[in-house]
Structure 1
Amino acid sequence: MKYLVLIHSAPSPWGHPTVDFTPEGRAQSPEQRAAGAAAFDELLREISASGELVTAEALGAPASSTVYRWQDGAHVVSEGPYAESKEHLAGFFLLDCATRERAEALAARFAGPGDTIELRPAMWGD
């Protein structure tokens, strides 16, 4: 079953890894940041080796987005940022996990200082 791990964050300035650009991440000690980076690297090694990582991508700043909507029978185009929100989609990881429980366990490990993680199953799983 495929699951999308969505990383919502509000780095300022916009950058990746987001923890380096969030107030919560910058408030960590160098030792805490190093431990977090090591844990994240281990997570990536684990899901790569197991074949659970399908793909991942960090996203550019919300201001670089373009939004396309349908309104009054026509397309309406507007420049980003696309949402009036503090947090924006910063990146994603597509995982292929045997169970929902495994996907939940992995998603929890993606949460970093200043980030909100959303786990969503793919509509057509496989």
Structure 2
Amino acid sequence: MKYVILIHSSPRPWGHPTGDFVPENQGRSAEQREQENVEFDAMLREMHQRGELVSAEALGDPAGSRLYRWSDGERVVTDGPYTEAKEQLAGFFLIDVESPERAHEIAGRFGVPGETIELRPAMWPGGEDA
């Protein structure tokens, strides 16, 4: 079963890992942040060894994005970011796991204060669950 883990964040300045640039996380102790980084790296190694980590990408600053929409039957292109929301899509992980429970277990270990993690099932182009 494939799932996408989406990381929504608002780092200032834009940078990765986003938790290093989010005020809510920067206010925590260096020891706590380092321990969480060690645990996260261990989880990524485990996922890789189990064949669960398919792909992952950090995304660039949304200020550099372009929007392609339709209005009155015409294509309209504008500069990003794509939304006025505080948080933007910062990156994603594509995972392939044995069960929804495993996907929830993994997603629950992502993120730091100041970030929102979204777990979404992936679908094949025909619309059926992957």
Both proteins in one fold, TM over 0.5: yes
Question: 1:111, CA displacement in angstroms?
Answer: 2.0
Q: Deviations over 1:31-89 (max 9, x none)?
A: 01110110110111011110000000000011010010011111110001110100000
Counterpart mapping for 1:1-126 below 5 A? 1-124=1-124, 125-126=129-130
Q: CA deviation at 1:113?
A: 2.1
- 1:28 Cα shift? 1.1
Alpha carbon RMSD of aligned pairs, Å?
0.9
Q: 1:112, CA displacement in angstroms?
A: 1.4
TM-score, with length taken from structure 1: 0.97
- After the TM superposition, list the runs of 4 or more consecutive aligned residues in structure 1 that deviate by more than 4 angstroms: none
Structure 2 unmatched ranges of 5 or more: none
Distance (whole Å) between structure 2 residues aligned to residue 36 and residue 74 of structure 1: 48
What's the TM-score, normalizing by structure 2?
0.94
Matched length = 126
Identity %: 60
Please give the alpha-carbon distance, in whole angstroms, between the structure 2 residues aligned to 1:6 and 1:22: 16
